Each structure stands twice: as C-alpha cells, then as structure tokens.
Structure 1
Amino acid sequence: MPSQLNLLSAVTLAALLLHASGAPVGDAPTDIPAGEPSGEEEVGPSDLLSVSPVWHAVLGITKRHRKEFEDEFQNELKYNFLENYKVSSLPAGCPLSNFSEEACLHRLTHGLMIYAVLLKHVEKEYPGNLICSVAKYYSGLLINLSKDKMRNPEQVTALTSSQEAQLLGGLDQPDTFQRKMTAHSILRQLHHFLVDSKRAITKREGKKGRQAFGTHQLL
C-alpha cells in the first residue's frame, strides 16, 4: 500500500492542481490516514479503502467537470444534454448487493483501467485538460490501493495494445462536435462510476468493520 508520505504528496498535488484550476484550496483533501496498517485482522478506519483521501481528491476534480462543460458551451447546451451520448464501451460498476467486496474491488480496478484508456480520447480532443490529467493520476492510485486489498490482484490485468486500439477506434468519429460530446460524456460517466463504486465499497467495508468489532467484543 502507498505510504503515508506518498498519500501526503498526492494530497499536496491535488491542492496545487485544484488551485491552479481556480478552485479554492479548501476543496483539496486534507485528511491523511493515521499510520500504516498493522497487519492484524482487525479492521480500523485507516485500513479502509473507502476512507482514503484519494477518493476525496478524484471525486473533487471529476465533480468540476459540470462547470467546465457549462463554461465551454454557455447557454447553448445544458449538462443533461450529455445523457444523449452513451459510450457503449463504458465498464460496469459494482451493484449494491449480490457482490462480494473482492468482486467489487475487481470491478473498480478493471473499470478504472478501461477509463484510463478512454481518457486518451479526452486528451486528444482537449489537450492539456486539467480534469483529465488529475483524474488519471488519482485513478492510478486507486488501482494500486484496490489491488492491495484484493486476495487475487493478479486476476485483473491491463488491456492489451490491440484492446486499447479497438476501444479508442470505436470513439473516433468524423464529426468534431460528436467527438467532443463523447469526451465530455466519458468524464461525466467517470464521476458517476467513482461515486457508485465508493458507495458500494463503503457498504461492504462497513459490514466487515462491524463484524470485526463484534469479534473484538467477544475476546
């Protein structure tokens, strides 16, 4: 798992990038987990993926996409207009029920790997886009954090070059407006994917924490 120093560096980067984009520095994450996991079975707050400051950072930056979209198109287009642009290659999220924590972590990790490729389309249409760059960075941290929590992280593998090419090829359209709408749709759906994933993992970790607390009470 990334060290406390690495998380501190990540938080500092988020503050600098958000400040550069015009967001108040107060929007950046400030809470750092207190210490490293002890390796014991008991589940404490600092052991939970759902409370990692990385979530705060990535959700904070992806949430800003709505304002970016509205600023670009002023009153010509409403944000809900993006509902008309469905990207068929978007990954499935973790449902709130009927999935184990391990399965949810696999869905989250695999999904973020797919979004990492889809964000290349966003970068192509909007070179230097700050939201895209920061989201990609923190998505990479979330992938590593999630793998640290898995029993079988080797089962989640990165996409091959041919798979990436096929994924991006399906987004390439001759019409500039259509390509831009697809890019915005990817950023919008990434935010929803992250929100739903955090909710699902929080639910499962909360159950695990209650079980561990109950066991501790019996000792």
Structure 2
Amino acid sequence: MPSNPDWISAVTLAALLLCTSGFPLPDASTDSPNGDPSGEEGVTEWPVDALKTVLKAALYTTERHRKEFEAEFQGMLDYDFLDKYRIPSLPALCPFSNFSKEACFIRLLQGLRVYSVLLKHVAQEFPNSFIPIETRHYVNLLITEIKEKINAPGQVSVLTNSQEEQLLRDVNNSDNFHRKMTAHSILYKLHHFLIRGKRVIDKREKPRRGMHNRGVEKNNEI
C-alpha cells in the first residue's frame, strides 16, 4: 500500500463520505443498455477495503455525471444515447464467464490506464467541472490498488508517450459539439466499465454453490 499522505487522505475522505452521507451505488438501471447477461439485480455490496472504497467513490462521481448530463440537455438527448457514440481504442469490458479474477484485474488495470489518458480530454472540454478531475484522481488510485491485487503487475504494459498522444488525437475533433459529446461519452463508458468490472470480480469472490452444497452435506453426515 502506498504511504503518500495525499493518497491516505483521499481514501479516508472517500470512506467518511460514503459512510456518513449514504452515497448510493448505481443500481442495475445504470448498467449498459445492451443488457446484463448475469441476471443479477443491482450491484452487490462489498466488504470495505481500500480498493472497493475508492471504486465506490469513483462510481458515485461518474453517476453524478449522468445527473449533470440530464440537467444540461433537459430530455433533448437521452443519457443512453452516449452508448452509441463510438470512440476508438476503448478497452473491452470484463466478460462474465470464462474469465478469472486475475484476468479481470489485468483488464481493469489496462483499461484504467487508457481512461486516465482520455480523461485529459474530458478535463479540457469541461474546465469548470470538478467531475473529470475527481474521476481521474479516483482512476489513478484504482490503478495503484489493482496493482496490489495482481500477481505480476509488471507484466501489464504501461502506455508510451506516443500511445497516449495517439489516444488524445483519436478523440480530438474540429467540431466543438462532437468534442464535447466525446467527453460525455468517455465518462459514460468509464462508468459502465467500472460497474462491469465490479460485478465480475464480485461474482468470482462468491463461493460456488455446488461446493457450498457439498460442504453442507458433509457436515450433515458428521
């Protein structure tokens, strides 16, 4: 765990805010409009630790973006319209099946590094909003925490300067409206990227039902 005082204060603040203010975690209605094949309702609560506290705070921040978007467009554009806004080089979501927790952590780490760069574009488009600043802060904290969970974090490649520059060029546009909508879409996609990762990892942490039943049968025999 890092000993940086800023990191400690940020996580402590996030934990206090979440505990005292009752920040809501987005429910199943905020999942991707393409549908959730897991059949699970809502987002399962996790025991509190640094990673999960920061993740919950990050999700609350991206959920605030939804409210700001809806307030800005006043029903003229639906929030889920952003799902159709295509952005090059976005990371893939963690799949619900045939994917280990370690593999999902690796995909989250790789994806969050991409989003950390793309959030620079968001900050440029929304200079008067704290949301892109807060979101990037939590994304960077998540990167640090996820590296602690991975067996060999050094094997996950770091983006080069040229790759970062290419990501920002890909989302740049001479049209002001398209640049702004791209920024909105980055926050939208990140929100669902985090929700999916949380659900997949949570699912991997649950004991298998078959193993549980076998344990109950064994205890009954004793």
Output the TM-score relative to the length of structure 1.
0.75
| 1:143 has 2:139 as partner | no
| Alignment CA distance shift 1:9-1:123 (3 Å) | closer
Q: Distance in 2 between matches of 1:128 and 1:94?
A: 32
The equivalent of 2:38 in structure 1 is none
The equivalent of 1:32 in structure 2 is none
The superposition leaves residues 3-25 of structure 1 with CA deviations (integer Å, 9 ceiling, x where unpaired) of: 7x855642415767x9xxxxx94
Q: Distance in 1 between matches of 2:48 and 2:190?
A: 25
The equivalent of 1:196 in structure 2 is 196
How far apart are 1:75 and its partner, in Å?
3.3
How far apart are 1:123 and its partner, in Å?
0.8
For the 8 Å contact 2:58–2:139, the answer to whether it is kept is: yes
Q: Distance in 2 between matches of 1:15 and 1:175?
A: 41
The equivalent of 1:205 in structure 2 is 205
How far apart are 1:144 and its partner, in Å?
1.3
Q: Identity, % of aligned pairs? A: 51
The superposition leaves residues 114-161 of structure 1 with CA deviations (integer Å, 9 ceiling, x where unpaired) of: 000111110111114212111111111111111111111001132111
For the 8 Å contact 1:61–1:135, the answer to whether it is kept is: yes
| 1:57 has 2:53 as partner | no
How far apart are 1:187 and its partner, in Å?
0.3
For the 8 Å contact 1:118–1:186, the answer to whether it is kept is: yes
Unmatched 5+ stretches in structure 2:
26-46
Output the TM-score relative to the length of structure 2.
0.74
The equivalent of 1:27 in structure 2 is 23
1:38-57 correspondence to structure 2 within 5 Å: 49=51, 52-57=52-57
How far apart are 1:201 and its partner, in Å?
0.8
The equivalent of 1:37 in structure 2 is none
Q: Distance in 1 between matches of 2:56 and 2:112?
A: 16
Q: Distance in 1 between matches of 2:135 and 2:173?
A: 24
Unmatched 5+ stretches in structure 1:
19-23, 30-44
Q: Distance in 2 between matches of 1:15 and 1:177?
A: 38
How far apart are 1:98 and its partner, in Å?
0.8
1:1-219 correspondence to structure 2 within 5 Å: 1-2=1-2, 9-12=10-13, 25-27=21-23, 49=51, 52-207=52-207
Q: Distance in 1 between matches of 2:76 and 2:49?
A: 46
Aligned length: 191
How far apart are 1:90 and its partner, in Å?
0.8
Q: Distance in 2 between matches of 1:46 and 1:73?
A: 36
